[in-house]
Each structure stands twice: as C-alpha cells, then as structure tokens.
Amino acid sequence: MTTSQPPAAADTEDREHYRMLIDGTWRDAADSRRFDSVNPFDGTHWADVPLAGEADVDAAVRAARAAFDNGTWPATTPARRAQLLRRLGDLITERADDLARVQVLENGKLIREVSGQTRALAGHCYFYAGVAETMHGHTLAGSVPDMHVFTVREPIGVVAAITPWNSPLALLLWKLCPALAAGNTMVIKPSEITPVSTLLLGELITEAGFPAGVVNIVTGEGATGAALARHPGVDKIAFTGSTAVGKTIAVTAAERLARVSLELGGKSPNIIFSDADLPNAVNGVLAGVFAATGQTCMAGSRVLVQQNIYDMFAAALVERTEQIKIGDPLDPDTEMGTVACQSQHTKVLDYIAIARDEGATLLAGGKRPEDPALAKGLFVEPTVFGDVTNDMRIAREEVFGPVAVLIPFTDEAHAVEIANDTPFGLAAGVWTTDVARAHRMVRRLRAGTVWVNNYRKTNYVAPFGGFRESGLGRENGMDAVNEYTEVKTAWIDLGNRITDPFNPRA
C-alpha cells in the first residue's frame, strides 16, 4: 500500500499534481481528466487533481464495501480503532502548519483562524478514540419473564462524506472521526474548490496505518458527488453544504432508504439587547459574520438590535467595520481575506445590489476594495446594511459572504418573533446581562445552537446541527455516534418453553 502521494510534479507554471486515494493506492482518474485548484488571493492555478467519473466512484465504493463486508474494519477491535485515531491526531499536530497553509491557498480563509482550527482537529481524533473504546448498548428491564434483553450499536456500513469548501478539514473530521470510531468505512468527496487539503489528510490517514479501503477519497465536481450519493453501495450520506443540494441528496437517498445526515444553510439571528455589553456585542457581530468572510453556515448575518440602542450600536459597528484590515490571508495581521471562488464572489456582489434595490441603507462597504494591491483577489469589503426589514431577500436568503443586515426590534417578544421568522434554524446569538432573559431566549429560539454573549464557538463534545431547513441529524459529541450506528436488540431465552405458538406473550 502506498502511504503518500507520488512526488509532486510541476509544469511550466510550477503547478503541483495530486492523485486520489482508492483502496490504499494513489490513482489518477480512469479517463485521466484533471481540474485546477485556484488561489482566490492572486488567481494562480497552483495545483491540479483528478476529475473522478462514475468508474472511479464505483471503484472507491467497492473498496469501502469490501473493507466493511469482509470484516477488515468493523471486526477490528475498538482498542485498535482508538489507537489509529490517536495516531492520526498526532500526525495532524505534526503537519498542522502544512494543512493550514494549503487550506488558505484553496479558499482564502485567514491563516490566523485556520492555524488554530487545524491544530484543534487532533482533539476530535482523541475524543472519538475514547468513544470507540467505550461505546455500549443497554440492558433492558423487559416485562417478559425469563428473558435477557439488551441492545448493541453496530456500524451502518459504507458512509459517503460530501464536504464543503469553507472549512474543508474541520467539517470532514466532524464526520470522519465518529464514523470510523463506530466501525464504518468511508468514501470522501471534498468540494472541487478545496480538494488538496483533503488529499493531504489522506496521506496522514494512510501513514497512521488505517487498512486499505477503509478511507477512500475521490475528487471532482458536482457530477462526482451526485454519482457517489446515488451509488447503491453507499449506506449513509453525510453532507454539509447548501439547503438546495441537501434536499436533492435527501430525495436521492430516500429512493433506496439510505441514511442521511445533512448540515445545511442558515440565516442566523444575532440579537443585541439594550442591557448588553455593547463593545463585546460589536466584537461578537464581527466574529459572527466577518471573521470568516461570512462564509460559514452559522454566520450571524441578521443582526437584531433593540430600538433604543439601534443608532448607537449601528454607529459603533460601522466604525469598527471600517477598520477591518483586508489583505493577504497568509499574513497573520490580516483580519479578513477573500471570498473562496469567482462564482461566490459574483453571488455576494449580486446580493449587495439586491439589498440596495430593496431599499436597505448601505452603512459600510458594499463593493470591491479600491486598493490596487488587492486587484487580483476575490475581495468584497465588509458590508453593513441598515433599515432592513425581515421580509427583504437580504434578510431571508443565505448570502454566504461578508454582509450584515441590521433589523430593529422593540422588546423580547418582538425579537423572538423576528428571529424565528425564517425557514432556517441553525444557530442564534443573544447578547444580554439579564440571566433570566438569557435562559428564556435559549428556550424560545428555534435553532440548533444558541450562544449567549459569544458567537461561533464549537467543540467536539457539543452537538451541532439545525432545525427545519438547516438540516437533519447532529454532528459532534456523543449524538454524532447515533448518526453512524444502527441499534440491534437481542432477546435471550433463559429457560422459557413455547407453549402457545400463536400467542407471543404466552
């Protein structure tokens, strides 16, 4: 089994070449097609990867199927699974700088954020290593005499993990670690915008000693993901991405009753009450929508502000927004990087135009930066709109860019009404010094995560997922294990005789 990529060749543009991981070997696409990875900061085509077709997807699924059906992985002892996950965590720590840098080259996210995020991934490996060793069922107190009844949790089978471009490795590990801990095998399809970082992680997976076929990686575009989702050999699809694509995957899976977990879009409210610590709330709004260039499903892009502090808060937010340093995402001093790709850049600028047409008042940003040094990059100024009502498209549709909209509210009930008036339900933020109000808001907000006096905090112990059109299922924590296991119930007769075959309770 080859544990690392072949030496990266380079063409006249110093482009790096990568291969896919299928059944423990690094391969090109069956038809030799490839596509480029483009740096959104300077437009360079810095790497290329295989464009997988249906034959490649089939080979990857067959490899995962064989590794599951022949017992290679599910029959591996929990202690051995845990050992390999811990080894993977160690390797991620050793290669964290390389993994972080490649993600920045792919999607323009800040190195100051990605570095810490990448190092934290080792914690996911260690946590689920412990889960692998402690997973258990339950002994049940049944009402039938002389019967021992218990449950066990077993892996589902082959898992297809289809991952996004905004946090490619973090959102992959949310799936990879619990799936492997439970004994599943996997085929991973990363976003076409960020394939290289996942392939580098594949090197670490093979170096850690995972058996061939347990983890496979195919790279490609939408057609590759669609071929993987509809493959009859896939037992469960774990997807993070847009609500529209998630719905399509759900329909595809329903045709064969495959399991799904879907972490989808959001239009999350970030609610500022008049008793909040305002400087802290301003920083919280910046963290919620500008720190990741707004390219996060949990972005707190609907900023609800109590009417009696609205003008003061808007002025403070605009002042701080205009101070944000835009620039090279590899520069540790940069505070906001690029949008990840050309199509997303166009989409964000289109939504800014829509907001203006709807009558929203532009308070900050709203265009590409004028600095000639940034001309090659896919930049959008951090943008704030005021005079927004919750029926405007800019308040209802996911922009996935650095655009915040300010919506006034009168009292707590009004804030809840506006916050819950959305098809989504992924996250929400509440800023208040009133502890009783904080608890009331947590109960009343229809969202999978509610932050109080903070925003965008996640951890491997804390379940994450959405209500309504923000998705199905939960990632992280012990709840994630339920997404990758089936429950089996066993009945053991301790001495009964069947006296009436037509009455199961006799």
**DSSP 8-state code for residue 461:** T
Q: Rounded to an integer, what is the distance from CA 427 to the centroid of its chain?
A: 13
CB 114 within 8 A of CB 166: no
User: What is the C-alpha separation between 210 and 64, in angstroms, rounded?
Assistant: 12
What's the confidence (pLDDT) of residue 9? 43
Nearest Cα neighbor of 190 from 155, 210, 158, 216 is: 216
Amino acid letter for position 223: A
SS3 content of the chain, % helix, strand, coil (to 5): 40, 20, 40
Bridge partner residues of 35 (DSSP): 49
Q: Is 177 a catalytic residue?
A: no
With H, G, I as helix, E, B as strand and everything else as coil, classify residue 92.
Answer: helix
- Looking up tokens 């900050």 gives 364
Tell me how crowded residue 353 is: count the other CB atoms within 10 A of its CB.
Answer: 10
CB 429 within 8 A of CB 284: yes
**DSSP 8-state code for residue 10:** B
What's the start-to-end Cα distance of the chain, in Å?
57
With H, G, I as helix, E, B as strand and everything else as coil, classify residue 116.
Answer: helix
CB 418 within 8 A of CB 269: yes
With H, G, I as helix, E, B as strand and everything else as coil, classify residue 207.
Answer: helix
- Looking up tokens 């916050």 gives 419
- Characterize the bridge pairing of strands 158-162 and 236-240: parallel
Angle between helices 168-182 and 111-134 (to 10 degrees): 10
Which residues are within 8 A (CB) of 261 and not within 5 positions of it... i.e. 6 or more apart? 236, 237, 238, 239, 465, 471, 472, 473, 474, 475, 483
Q: Which domains does the chain have, with CATH numbers?
A: 21-36+51-76+137-264+466-488 (3.40.605.10), 269-452 (3.40.309.10)
Q: Is 398 a catalytic residue?
A: no
**CA dihedral (189, 193, 198, 199) positive or negative:** positive
For residues 119-139, b (16+ Cβ closer than 10 Å) or e, as one string? Answer: ebbbbbbbbbbebbbebeeee
CB 329 within 8 A of CB 104: yes
Among 263, 381, 469, 483, the one annotated catalytic: 263
User: What is the C-alpha separation between 263 and 474, in angstroms, rounded?
Assistant: 8
With H, G, I as helix, E, B as strand and everything else as coil, classify residue 299.
Answer: coil
**CA dihedral (141, 142, 148, 149) positive or negative:** negative
User: What is the C-alpha separation between 475 and 344, in angstroms, rounded?
Assistant: 26
What's the confidence (pLDDT) of residue 1? 43
Amino acid letter for position 86: R
All residue ranges of the chain with pLDDT < 70 are 1-13, 504-506
Nearest Cα neighbor of 108 from 399, 300, 331 is: 331
Token pair recorded at residue 111 = 């190195």
User: What is the C-alpha separation between 340 and 14, in angstroms, rounded?
Assistant: 21
Among 203, 297, 398, 483, the one annotated catalytic: 297
